Structure 1
Amino acid sequence: MPDFCAAYGCSNRRSLKTRARGITFHLFPKSGKMRRQWELALRRVDFVASDRTLLCSEHFRSEDFDRTGQNVRLKEGVVPNIFNFPAHLQRLVATGNTTTSRRAEDNLPMDLSQDVPKPDVGATGDRSLSLKWQATDHLYALPACPKAIKAKLEESSAQLRKLQREKSNALRRENRAKMNMQALLEELKEKNLINKELKDNLECYSDLPVHLLSRQGVEYTKAQRDFALTLHLHGPKAYHYLRDTLHIHLPHPSSLQRYSSLALQTIFS
């Protein structure tokens, strides 16, 4: 039975496609307190998680994960906080005490947080909301001093470079996930392009560095040639699917004939 993400409006399920996109799935915490925090974060009426209930990685921040081991794990005490709720589940908060507000304030330059009016303790909700809008208008105003403008620009540029690095790292992780031989074999089996026997025979090549196959001009190793010969001989449709559809840089069929001739010469010499 497929494993689906339990978040509102999320259609991700555990499959080859989500694994290729770098999406991981995580069980709800076993402890009662943390599990209850996760359940409340989903904002689903009378929702109670089971021992098999999952959330996908798209509902957590990148810094919530521990990627030091072989498996991607969540850090201790992490609570999901990235959701796409409809309007009736959105919460209107007048003060700046939410997690999103604190994250936004952390990204603002320090000199822009001065002189921001704060709501009185005994103020009404309308008064608090009004002060919030005043603070927002003030924060978006440009400083009058040219040095302050330059400092703000430099800080914004540094933040942009940081986001670009994070995006680049995410793309590299996604490409590594896609360029996994085990994932390719699973996809071929799922599409009925190879049978179980052939898949089992090709398991010995599961640690083959597929990313090297995408580099033009790189000499194929013996393991790569043997893999190509075996797949082309027993699963030609699968071979052409990898080469023509997924654009994996496998040897041309004419090169395979040359490899076969050289192998026969070696055997009978």
Structure 2
Amino acid sequence: MAKVSVSKSKGLQCFAVNCRHYNNSYWREQGITFHKFPDENKFPDTYADWVRKCRREKDPSKHARLCSCHFEAKWFDRTGQTVRLREGAVPDWGKFNLPKHLQPKTVKPRTTATSKRAAESAAQPLPDALPSTETHTSYVEHEHAYAGSALMWKRKFFQLSEKHEDMAREYSNALRREKRAKEICRAFVEELYEKNGINTDKAVFEEILE
């Protein structure tokens, strides 16, 4: 039986802007794999980095995938039957087909005599936490990655607001339970006094139940 050809554009398209790879058997046969986005709650910085580099005006859905063409070879684990991305994998800017207006901006160094003297006198090595092979541009990119997207911080704000509301609700419920418990105890003490079943000064109990 002849093999049925699959349309190159069938299936879900890679989420990166201008990428024409689709998650189907045709592209997988070309050696291209498709990978879901990191968990936004567990890895917010990595997730924000993926979204930022895709240059889309919308957030990825739970079905969105980024194809392997946007990652360096070092990020792939090919030891199993399924090609996987290693934890912490981030796409590489150079592997995106971005239009000029969407390309990351690099800061051009100043070339005045004053700026050169200032740079020479104030030159400082990059922090030890960064690989020594990183350029100044990648260092700036690394620092800005922590800022994330405005949308990510907006989500975090709403998540914290919801958590605060939940805690306030739990606190309010606890106060109501405490009040109810005191009312029950107070009624029980009143009943004991009426039946002469207790000799302790009533004021003692009132102080405790205050």
The normalised TM-score by structure 1 is: 0.34
> Which protein has the larger Cα radius of gyration, Structure 1 or Structure 2?
2
More helix by share: 1
Which has the higher relative contact order, 1 or 2, with Cα contacts under 8 A spaced 6 or more apart?
2
The normalised TM-score by structure 2 is: 0.43
